[in-house]
Structures are given as structure tokens and as C-alpha cells.
Structure 1
Amino acid sequence: MPTSVELAAMRRAIIISASGLGATSPNPAVGCVILDAAGRTVGEGYHLRKGAAHAEVNALMAAGPRAAGGTAVVTLEPCNHEGLTPACHQALLDAKIARVLIAVMDPTSRGEGGAARLRLAGVDVHTHVLEEEALVVLGPWYTSLSGQRPVLHLLIQTDAAGNPIAPGAEALAETAVQRHEHDLVISIDGSAEEGREGSHGRVFSVPASAVADDPGASVAALTEAGARTVLLVGPSKVSEQLLSAGLVDRLTLLQPVPEPSQNTMGGPPRFPDGFVLSRVTRAGGQLVVTAVRRPAHGGPRAGDPGAV
């Protein structure tokens, strides 16, 4: 069983993993904390961007020789294959890590998986540690894999009656906040840009078909570009088509805060069937209302942005 120190380390790994959001796709944002043999934190790291060292390697570099005989606490199963970077399970073995705690198992593992290889080498491995909490960060990536398409988030500003309007200053401000956890932002004019500015040269190649009239072609182009999470700023023809086709996973509405002196009733939120409220807050003079698509088995999909 994980100790209280190890659980705290896993929560720290989950928190720092979010530092890589918007820069790692199509890879996941992963965090890792290294504890020495006495249970003291001696290193931590996260996956900075696609093609760079993974979280485990960065954490081990920070820990140095103090990692020997210690514990690696990682939000995703260490990889078992070499690609642009070496296999992380081997890096843990080379560092003489004795114990590994994993939150989420990697559905892309090749062969027996990193956890199995660590166990074969005599490492004490525990899986599914705070898995639900880790999916707060890894959920969109995981959902994208299972659906074989990006998670689509539609942001729309409305008037007091709930009717969509052209994005104003409030929508632009909310976009500036939301963009950092998305790979791509598609504006109302159909232009596409990376969600996280200054992502160290990681450039998505988005063809014109990404904003085509055919929703299927749009999603296929975004998938081919390697995007896992996309923010659509509407209303636009493309966003309306994607919403009608049932391809939007998260919907955020910005609506003016009602004036208490007025007797008029505001319009109800116009969520399509199958959506459930996941977050309601206030930003200045706007109510920010977010809903996520409920899967067939009920409840918001685990780890979806805003799922509770």
C-alpha cells in the first residue's frame, strides 16, 4: 500500500505534470517525483514538450545518485520502447530505483508494458495509485486515444437571452485563459493557431480541410495534425456543424450576469442533449457555464476538462 508520503508525492507529480499541457501532444503531459530510500523528495520532473526527455528522465537527472534504492512516483506508466527518447523503464532500472508507483496505465504500451518489465527486473510496482486524480490532467489525452480524435471544446459568448453573439472582449479574455491547456485554437474566422504560445518550435501542420464544411473532414485533419485537445471559438459555421454532428465534447457559454433590478428572465443554457453541467463560475460581468458530454454509461467522462 502507498504511504502518506508517497500519496503526497503522487499529488505533486500530478500538479507539475500540468506544466507540459499544450506542448507535449500527441504525447501526454506526465509528471514524476523521485523519493530516496528514506522517503525524502530528491528530484522531480515533467515532460516539457514532444521530442524532449520524458518526466522520469528529468526527475532522475535532478535526483542523481540519490535515486538509488528509492521510489519513482509517476502519473503514467513508464514507456517500454525507444522512440525520440530512450525507454523510461530502462532509465529507472539504470538508476537502481527499487519501487515505482503508477497512477494511469499507458494504453499505447507496446508488448508487455513498462510496469511488467520493471516487475520482471525485481522492482516493487504499484499501479492505479490516485488514478482518478491523475486523470484530471491525463483525461483529455486518454479520451482522445479512445475516441481516435481530439477532444473538442467549444467556447461561445451569448447575450442575456442566451443567443450566440460574436466574441467580445469577455470571450477573448476567457480564450486567453483556456488556450494554454489546448493544443490548437480555431478562431471564428477559421484560422488555427497553437494554443500555447512559445512552445519551443512545436508547430502543428493544419491543412485547410481542418476548417472544412464537412465535420468529418475537419476532425480527420485535426487528428492527422497530432492535436489531442482543440478549442473552438464560436459561433461559426464550423463549430455549429461539429456541434450538430455530436463531435463537441465540452461546451462553455459566457453569459452576462443578470441585473438584480430587472424583472426579465434570462434565457436557459442551450446545451444539446447528452450534456451535463460541470462547472459554473463568474468572471467579471460574465457567468462562465461549462458542460461536458455524458457518455452512454452515465456521468461525465473521467478526466474530461471540467469534469467533476
Structure 2
Amino acid sequence: MTTFSTDEAAMARALELALRVPAAGPNPRVGCVLLRDGRVIGEGWHRGAGTAHAEVDALSGVDAVGATAVVTLEPCAHTGRTGPCARALIDAGVARVVIAVADPNPVAGGGAELLRAAGVEVVTGVGTAAVRRMLEPWLVAVGRGRPFVTLKLATTLDGRVAAADGSSRWITSPESRAHAHALRAEVDALLVGTGTALIDRPSLTARDADGALGPRQPLRVVLGDREAPLPEPGGDVVRVPGHDPATALAVLAAREVRHVLVEGGPTVSAAFLRAGLVDRVLAYVAPVLLGAGRSAVEDLGIATLVDGVRLRTEDVLRLGPDVLLIARAGDGEEED
């Protein structure tokens, strides 16, 4: 039987369990480990809307009296499609609960207080950084009331997304495109403007290495006033009239979209940047020079270098001949 000598080690296991859950969807990825004297007596994770939450899943068929529950996200304190997890832990006789991240949802939060009021020892802040990284899109979406926004750019070394004649396929390598398709499978929605939809006719689908559609397809969002049909098959299509990024995000928030991938083109990319509604930028850069052609981002209204949009580099990856730069806008922290 597996044993863990520290709360941190047990939380790492709870994180592994949470990562079994697909990243996309309205609910957070949560894992839970039940321990008695460091020995694992139960494990669980939340498999999706309407299914047992991680804590209840871990408690199934287990005598948890006096046990410790190690959970990635604060147990919920409200009744939705399922009952409150904090109450389930109390009723099961759990003596101690270790939590990585507090729940920012004003409807579901408060589980730690409920546990303490029932005499359960509550320890917080264990393994917080790693769990926050996993939950970031959900935490930001719930905390800010709008989806987490990742802006994707695929450019030449001199920042072009198309040559002077308009040709744009393919700037980046198969390795970069495979990485981008894997990312598409992890988000709830893909967003483009009508210009990109009309000129490039993107499918906006998540495909595997053989080009086959993945089992789950993101929502496809077109922002703008012109008719711009998207190829089929693919995910459902949402059309948002006008050119306001905030309006688009409000529409998506109402559909419980937590993470949207903005795939451009330059007009839409600039609109989201000007509005301050980009949380993360993924820039796929190919070692190609064109010297002319369309820039990745249209005019941001910036006249001097000191006013430039400054991002914080988080990581740099090599993808075949290309480089992927992952950068943050602002401080990169979610709001509680």
C-alpha cells in the first residue's frame, strides 16, 4: 500500500489524480487522497459535471473516521448537481483536511470555514504553486467573471503572418502545428475574426497527428458582422456581432467557457491587446524572413517604445525548427 511521509508528497499525488481530468470544461480539475497514518486508504478525482466530486469519489467504500484528506482545491460548501464536499468529509469523520488552493467561487467557497466549525483541522497552502498552474484558466475565469484568454501567434522571424502576396500556409513547422492542435484540445473555445474566417477558411478543430478529429472539439467563435461560414465538421459555432472583445467574452462567460484561445488574425489580436484582455501569449516563431507582408498584430496606438505592451517570459520551447515563446501579460496571477 502506498504511503506518504509528508503532506507535500500526498498533494503531489492528488495533483496527479487531478491531471487525469481533461483540461477543458466549466468545472475545475480536482484530485483527492485519503490517508491514515500516511497510508493511502482512498483516492478520487472529479470526472466531469454531474459526477461525484473528488472528495466523494475518494470516500466511496472507505472507512475515513480519523483520516486526513489531501485535496487540490478547497472542498465546496454548496449544493449543486451534487452535495457539498465539505459536509461529506465531516459526515465521514475525517479529522484533518489539507488544501492547496482556496476556492474563489463565491457560490461554492467557504468549505474550509465549514470544516473548521465542525472541529476538523484544516491546513492550507500546501503545494499551492503547482496546483495554481494547473487550475489557472479556471481560477482566472471564476475570479474575474470572464474566460482566461490565450493569444496565439504564428509568425516569421520578422513578425509576419503572411507574405506580400497574402500566402500564409504554412509559416510554422508540423511540430508547431501539432503542439497547437494539442492546445486546442485543452481549451473551451477558439476565436477568430470574420476576416480570418473568410480569407483562411480555418476549420478551428483539434486534430491528432494523422489529421483525424479529436474526441472533443472546442466551441468555434467568429467575431464580426460579416457572414463567415466555417468548414464542417467541427465544434458548435457561435457568432458574436460587432468587434468588441469584452462583449465576446461576456457571451462566452454566459456559456461557462473558462478558457478561450484567440487565433487572430492581426485585427482581432490587436483588439484584445488594446482592451487589456490577454492573459497569456503563445508565439510560435519560424526561422523565416519575409521583409514584407502582414504583421502579426495591427496598430496598437503606441507611439513610443516606453509605452509598448511589456510581457513576462514564462518559458521557451524548441519545436522542430521553430521556437515557442510563452509569455504573460500583467502579473500572471489569478484573482481570488
Question: Would you call these one fold, judging by a TM-score over 0.5?
Answer: yes
User: Which segment drifts farther, 66-75 or 199-208?
Assistant: 199-208
- d(CA) in 1 for partners of 2:333, 2:280: 11
> What secondary structure sits across from 1:119 in the alignment?
helix
Paired letter, 1:179: R
Find out whether 1:148 has 2:157 as its counterpart: no
Name the structure 1 match of 2:37: 38
Is the contact between residue 143 and residue 334 of structure 2 (CA under 8 Å) also seen in structure 1? no
Find out whether 1:232 has 2:268 as its counterpart: no
Higher helix proportion (structure 1 or 2): 1
Q: How does 1:28-177 map to 2 (within 5 A)?
A: 28-35=28-35, 37-61=36-60, 64-110=61-107, 113-165=110-162, 166=168, 168=170, 169-177=174-182
- d(CA) in 2 for partners of 1:139, 1:201: 18
Among 243, 246, 249, the residue aligned to 1:213: 243
Q: TM-score, normalised by structure 1?
A: 0.80
- How big is the shift at 1:279? 0.8
- How big is the shift at 1:130? 2.2
> What secondary structure sits across from 1:65 in the alignment?
coil
Q: TM-score, normalised by structure 2?
A: 0.74
- d(CA) in 2 for partners of 1:219, 1:184: 11
Name the structure 2 match of 1:280: 316
Q: Structure 1 residues 54, 24: closer, same or farther in 2, change over 3 A?
A: farther
Q: Structure 1 residues 20, 194: closer, same or farther in 2, change over 3 A?
A: farther
- How big is the shift at 1:150? 0.7
- How big is the shift at 1:244? 2.8
- How big is the shift at 1:198? 3.5
- How big is the shift at 1:158? 0.7
> What secondary structure sits across from 1:9 in the alignment?
helix
- How big is the shift at 1:241? 2.0
Q: Structure 1 residues 144, 110: closer, same or farther in 2, change over 3 A?
A: closer
> What secondary structure sits across from 1:287 in the alignment?
strand
Is the contact between residue 184 and residue 194 of structure 1 (CA under 8 Å) also seen in structure 2? no
- d(CA) in 1 for partners of 2:179, 2:158: 20
Q: CA RMSD in A?
A: 3.3
- Equivalent residue pairs, number: 284
- d(CA) in 2 for partners of 1:82, 1:194: 34
- How big is the shift at 1:66? 3.9
Find out whether 1:301 has 2:333 as its counterpart: yes
Is the contact between residue 151 and residue 269 of structure 2 (CA under 8 Å) also seen in structure 1? yes
- d(CA) in 2 for partners of 1:66, 1:222: 42
Q: How does 1:188-199 map to 2 (within 5 A)?
A: 188-189=196-197, 197-198=214-215
- How big is the shift at 1:291? 0.8
Unmatched tracts of structure 1, length 5 or more:
304-308
- How big is the shift at 1:123? 1.3
Is the contact between residue 90 and residue 115 of structure 2 (CA under 8 Å) also seen in structure 1? yes
- Which whole-Å deviations, capped at 9, do the CAs of 1:274-304 have from their partners, x for residues lacking one? 3111110101111011111023xxxx3269x
- d(CA) in 1 for partners of 2:218, 2:161: 35
Tell me the percent identity.
36
Is the contact between residue 80 and residue 109 of structure 1 (CA under 8 Å) also seen in structure 2? no
> What secondary structure sits across from 2:47 in the alignment?
coil
Q: Structure 1 residues 119, 254: closer, same or farther in 2, change over 3 A?
A: same
Q: Structure 1 residues 23, 281: closer, same or farther in 2, change over 3 A?
A: closer
> What secondary structure sits across from 2:20 in the alignment?
helix
> What secondary structure sits across from 1:279 in the alignment?
strand
User: Which segment drifts farther, 182-191 or 243-252?
Assistant: 182-191
Paired letter, 1:223: A
Name the structure 2 match of 1:306: none
> What secondary structure sits across from 2:277 in the alignment?
coil
- d(CA) in 1 for partners of 2:318, 2:48: 32
> What secondary structure sits across from 2:70 in the alignment?
strand
Paired letter, 1:106: D
